[in-house]
Structure 1
Amino acid sequence: MVIDTHIHPALFAPICEDQERFRRRCDAMNYHLMKPSDMALLRKQYALADIGRVVLLPEDCSVESGMVEISNDEIAKLVALDAQFYIGMATVDPRRPDAVQELERAFAELGLAGLAVNTARLKMYPMDERLVPLYDLCRKYHKPIIFHAGFCLENNALAKYARPMEFEEVALRWPEVNLCLAHFGWPWVQETAALLLKYPNLYANTALMNFDGPYQLFPKVFKQDMGEYWLDHNLADKVMFGSDSPRIRPVRSKRGLDSVEMLPETREKIYWKNAMRFFGWEGQNK
């Protein structure tokens, strides 16, 4: 069984009924020439990769864009379709005057599983004082945070605000909160690896879609940019599978990672065990 920790549901048909809103969302998130996706077809695609649970990421840069790209309520609507399969994250633009109240509503009323933050789109560093109350709320509710880390393909985004080392102080100041650096912080994968080695609450995911395809990119990242045995010897407990769908189909991402040589116990941890621990689900059925 596989848990996909990184899916953007921007194209999920149930939240694409407003055509103008859909167009603006695709413009903001740089999903051009894409159409809404049928939910039954998506489930078949996930089954091809043995994916049994998926984590849905919202996005809110509304103070700049004038629109919440994927709202907490839309995420909750999708989770309600199958709460055993879909895990919904929350988000809020920290520049909103009601940011803390909205995130608390997402946790307390909507039951969302954690916080998603894209500092590259927000154009603020991870320790910006406007983000601190949101981190404190995650500590209060025992919710993890998934950060976009590294280069960002979305429009109006600057990678300097999401370089992995910029997240070190967050990991140090909130040790009770599990944090994930998405995309393995590419292209700064060695920075990400160093941070994973040091901070028990820090994780990364494999949502990589940059050059070539997964069969070429994953060996480059995990066997050349990093030492050949770093995954098995040092980072087996710190990496989670993520596809970065819809930029890449999950089955392609899964098969690409399947091609990377690693110990069977490391693969099992990456595909589902580490995500169970990250979300605090240990002891539950996978």
Structure 2
Amino acid sequence: MKYIDVHVHPVLVQEALDMEPRLLEAARKVFNIGTAPQPLSILLKLMDNAGVEKAVLLALDAKVSKGYTIPSNTTVYKLVKKAEERLVGFASVNPKDSEALKELKTAIEDYGFKGIKIHPPIQGIDPLDRDMYKIYERAIEYDVPILLHSGFTWVYGYSIDTCNPVRLEKIAIHFPELKLILGHMGWPWVREAVALAMKYPNVFLETSNVYTGTPEEHMRHIFQECMPKRLFDRFIREKVIFGSDYPRIEIDKMVGALKDLDLEDMTKEKILRENALNILKLSK
């Protein structure tokens, strides 16, 4: 079985750095990543080594909050075009930008992107602001999911409670047709995130990051210590999708940590592949 990784930041891909001279500086400042840039071919090789068939490359529009993109929608599009059978694009826009809807239209209609990435702490927005409603409405219109950063953030001065899954419940209620993916399993509010996924058909969870230790330790913490594993096996096996958060965490280590969990094989297959194919409407 081949896997799908829905959370890859192409911030250290050399071809992206060639297109955006400030990207390396932005990656260092925002993501605090110290690893060296590498060509796209290395990312594809790392995917191969991890058994990952397709990866979602995430744009991040921080022009309003920080003055740069990390990277831009256009850069992600050009990377995807270099390996269309392996890479998928997610757009990013800031509703405070007057060009947001125009940029989103280009990304979805012209670039063929399969979703939208919103990172409220880095973008300096509140996911419950009325300005965000137009983004949610367009996501429904385009029938694409929104991957929304949820839970903890390292961004100083931005309250982690702003992205508390309980607070984000309002989005699920007001926009029942919106496919809402809560990044990072909502940690540290994993129970609350799982409760939302159980309650709302339109809420999904995504596994990336390792806040509590190694990939193995964090996956056990999420899937076996925070919640009894039967909840994942019985109730929300169709609601969780795999993401690594590369280059912060190595893709193969995250895949291995998920595969080693004491979950039913069918649950792991759905998390690692089937759910992403269905939510993103990717060909099997």
Judge which range, 46-55 or 158-167, deviates more.
158-167
The alpha-carbon deviation at position 55 of structure 1 amounts to 0.6
Q: What corresponds to 2:26 in structure 1?
A: 25
Matches of 1:132 and 1:102, distance apart in 2: 16
In the TM superposition, residue 48 of structure 1 has moved relative to its aligned partner by 1.7
Aligned to 1:153: 154
2:173 corresponds to which residue? 172
Equivalent-residue separation in structure 1 for 2:191 and 2:27 (angstroms): 32
Structure 2 equivalent of residue 249 of structure 1: 250
**How far off its partner does 1:156 sit?**
6.1
Q: Identity over the aligned pairs, expressed in percent?
A: 29
Distance change in 2, residues 1:47/1:23 (3 Å):
closer
> In structure 2, what is the equivalent of residue 134 of structure 1?
135
Deviates further, 38-47 or 256-265: 38-47
Pair 10,4 (structure 1): closer, same or farther in 2 beyond 3 Å: same
Aligned partners of 1:158, 1:275: CA distance in 2, in Å? 30
The offset of 1:160, in angstroms, is 2.3
In 2, Cα distance between the equivalents of 1:40 and 1:153? Answer: 30
Q: CA deviation at 1:18?
A: 6.0
After superposing on structure 2, the runs of 4+ consecutive aligned residues of structure 1 that deviate more than 3 Å are 153-158
State whether residues 59 and 70 of structure 2, in contact with CA within 8 Å, keep that contact through their aligned partners in structure 1.
yes
| Residues 52 and 135 (structure 1), Cα distance of their counterparts in 2 relative to 1, 3 Å cut | same
Instruction: Provide, for residues 118-152 of structure 1, a one-character-per-residue CA deviation record: whole Å limited to 9, x for no partner.
Output: 11223433221111111111111111110011112
* 1:9 match: secondary structure: coil
Contact 1:207 1:243 in 2 (8 A): yes
Q: Helix, strand or coil for the counterpart of 2:68?
A: coil
- Residues 185-224 of structure 1 correspond to what in structure 2 (within 5 A)? 185-224=186-225
Query: TM-score under structure 1 normalisation?
Result: 0.94
Are the aligned partners of 2:145 and 2:280 in contact in 1 as well (CA < 8 Å)? yes
SS of the residue aligned with 1:131? helix
Q: CA RMSD in A?
A: 1.6
Counterpart residue type for residue 126 of structure 1: P
Measured after TM superposition, the shift of residue 19 of structure 1 is 7.7
How far is the alpha carbon of 1:154 from its aligned partner?
Answer: 5.1
Q: Confirm or deny: 8 A CA contact 1:30 1:155 kept in the other structure.
A: no
Distance 2:246 2:257 in 1: 14
Aligned residues: 283
Q: Which runs of 5+ in 2 are unaligned?
A: none
Residue 118 of structure 2 corresponds to residue 114 of structure 1: no
Q: Secondary structure at the match of 1:273?
A: helix
The equivalent residue for 2:6 is 5
Question: Offset at 1:20?
Answer: 4.6
Q: What is the 5 A alignment of 1:28-43?
A: 28-43=29-44
